[in-house]
């Protein structure tokens, strides 16, 4: 499998929209291809909606005897030909064309929303991949520290008490080995997930530490332009057009028929007819009532969607601040443990209990650094979600 090195810059200048994985997904993902084809199909529907119904051609004979089936009166043959055309009235075709254009606009917004969701999913997976690589580097770093400590401790003193400390060291090493296997499994799982999204071989990824930049302001105002709200707004406008169309249906279409009748032994004649449906059963009024209720429901959907997205936005903004605070606290904890580690290093090999204390501090340092990686990932994930929620490119 061809491997391509992908650098994910997480500092200023990081742009998820330019991610190679995102580009591959836009090019190969089957769901996006289906939506793009649906957009093209709906664009054709706009043209179709402007076309009149085909005329109706009728051919017939009026001289077949009932008492002698399929036998015609040769002396008084009567053949007729007619052409009928339904003429739409009340601006129905214009309304149908407007509805079709609304469908195109809605589907394009659905495509944009799907791309944003895919961009978010890929971005979160990339950030998780970075976190796993950082944790793997930590595990490797602490495995070496523990191995060096064990070797130094055994060469310094081989008493039973020191052997117990060495045993504790070995247990920590085994725990790190298990954690390493878990991280490698998670890393492989992310690669498989990405492959299912981009429908292509997954590039090899490596990334730099850092927090994603956040440059947004007036988030609630930006929320008005998010694709999900725009879709509901266009859907409501479409239902209003449907209501106009049902009202226009109260003006019946007119069917004009033009024909010619040839009669054997008698004069031929032409005929002209005009027909309209009679709205006597109240179907049109019922359709108008239904369209009115559907339009009202669509208006409520706009309000409901806005309310839900506003809640998600506020919740994610709070979560972003929370993760940043947790990250700051974890850095402080790491700093304090690093100072304690420096103090204990001088006595770790000479005092019986000092190595155990040193191992405890090492464990706390490892956990603090893992928490820093986890909180950094959670913070970046929150930023990606906010940008996607607002329909903003990263």
The H or E element that residue 40 is part of is: helix 30-49
Q: Taking the complete model, does pTM exceed 0.85, yes or no?
A: no
Phi-psi region of 58 (alpha: psi -120 to 50; beta: other; left: phi over 0): beta
SS (H, E, C) 350-362: CCCCHHHHHHHHH
Q: Is the predicted pLDDT of residue 154 greater than 90, yes or no?
A: no
Q: pLDDT band at residue 101, thresholds of 50, 70 and 90?
A: very high
**CATH numbers and ranges of domains, the chain:** 25-64+73-388 (1.20.1600.10)
Secondary structure (DSSP) of 283-347 = HHHHHHHHHHHHHHHHHHHHHHHHHHHHHHHHHHHHHHHHHHHHHHHHHHHHHHHHHHHHHHHTT
Q: Which residues contact 37 (CB under 8 A, 6 or more apart)?
A: none
Question: What's 72's DSSP letter?
Answer: B
Residue 9 confidence (pLDDT): 30
Write the pLDDT tens digit of every residue in 201-258: 887 775 556 899 999 999 999 999 899 999 999 999 999 999 999 999 999 999 999 9
Question: What's 161's DSSP letter?
Answer: H
Question: What's 348's DSSP letter?
Answer: T
Write the pLDDT tens digit of every residue in 258-302: 999 988 878 888 999 999 999 889 999 999 999 999 999 999 999
Q: Residue 47: which of 103, 109, 85, 86 has the closest Cα?
A: 103
Mean pLDDT over the full length of the chain: 85
| pLDDT, average across residues 87-111 | 95
Tokens representing 357?
A: 């204390």
Bridging pattern class, strands 5-8 and 204-207 = parallel
Asked whether 128 and 377 are in contact (CB, 8 A), the reply is yes
CA 359 to chain centre: 46
**How far, CA to CA in Å, does 182 sit from each of 85, 177, 295?**
73, 9, 53
The H or E element that residue 365 is part of is: helix 354-389
Instruction: Using only the alpha carbons of the chain, give its radius of gyration.
Output: 37
Maximum average pLDDT range among 18-22, 129-133, 222-226, 232-236: 232-236
Share of the chain above pLDDT 70, in %: 85
Residue 246 confidence (pLDDT): 94
Tokens representing 162?
A: 């020191």
């Amino acid at each position: 499998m061809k491997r391509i090195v992908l650098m994910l810059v997480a500092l200023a200048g990081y742009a998820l929209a330019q991610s190679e994985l995102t580009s591959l997904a836009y090019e190969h993902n089957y769901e996006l291809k289906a939506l793009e084809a649906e957009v093209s199909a709906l664009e054709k529907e706009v043209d179709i909606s402007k076309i009149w119904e085909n005329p109706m051609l009728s051919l017939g004979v009026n001289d077949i005897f009932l008492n002698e089936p399929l036998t015609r009166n040769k002396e008084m043959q009567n053949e007729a030909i007619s052409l009928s055309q339904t003429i739409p009235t009340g601006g129905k075709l214009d309304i149908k064309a407007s509805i079709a254009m609304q469908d195109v606009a809605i589907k394009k917004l659905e495509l944009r929303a799907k791309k944003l969701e895919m961009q978010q999913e890929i971005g979160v997976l990339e950030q998780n991949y970075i976190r796993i690589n950082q944790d793997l580097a930590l595990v490797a770093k602490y495995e070496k520290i523990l191995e060096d400590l064990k070797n130094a401790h055994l060469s310094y003193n081989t008493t039973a008490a020191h052997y117990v400390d060495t045993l504790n060291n070995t247990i920590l090493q085994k725990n790190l080995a298990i954690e390493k296997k878990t991280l490698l499994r998670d890393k492989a799982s992310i690669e498989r997930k990405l492959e299912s999204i981009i429908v292509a071989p997954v590039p090899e990824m490596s990334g730099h530490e850092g927090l994603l930049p956040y440059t947004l302001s007036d988030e609630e105002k930006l929320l008005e332009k998010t694709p999900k709200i725009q879709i509901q707004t266009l859907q409501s406008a479409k239902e209003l057009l449907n209501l106009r169309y049902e009202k226009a249906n109260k003006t019946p279409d007119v069917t004009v028929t033009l024909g010619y009748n040839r009669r054997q032994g008698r004069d031929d004649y032409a005929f002209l007819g005009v027909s309209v449906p009679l709205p006597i059963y109240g179907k049109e009024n019922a359709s108008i009532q239904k369209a009115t209720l559907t339009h009202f429901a669509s208006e409520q959907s706009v309000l409901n969607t806005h309310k839900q997205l506003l809640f998600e936005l506020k919740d994610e903004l709070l979560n972003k601040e929370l993760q940043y605070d947790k990250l700051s606290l974890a850095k402080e904890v790491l700093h304090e443990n690093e100072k304690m580690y420096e103090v204990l290093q001088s006595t770790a090999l000479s005092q019986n209990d000092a190595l155990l204390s040193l191992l405890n501090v090492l464990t706390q340092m490892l956990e603090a650094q893992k928490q820093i990686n986890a909180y950094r990932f959670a913070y970046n994930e929150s930023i990606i979600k906010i940008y996607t929620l607002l329909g903003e490119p990263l």
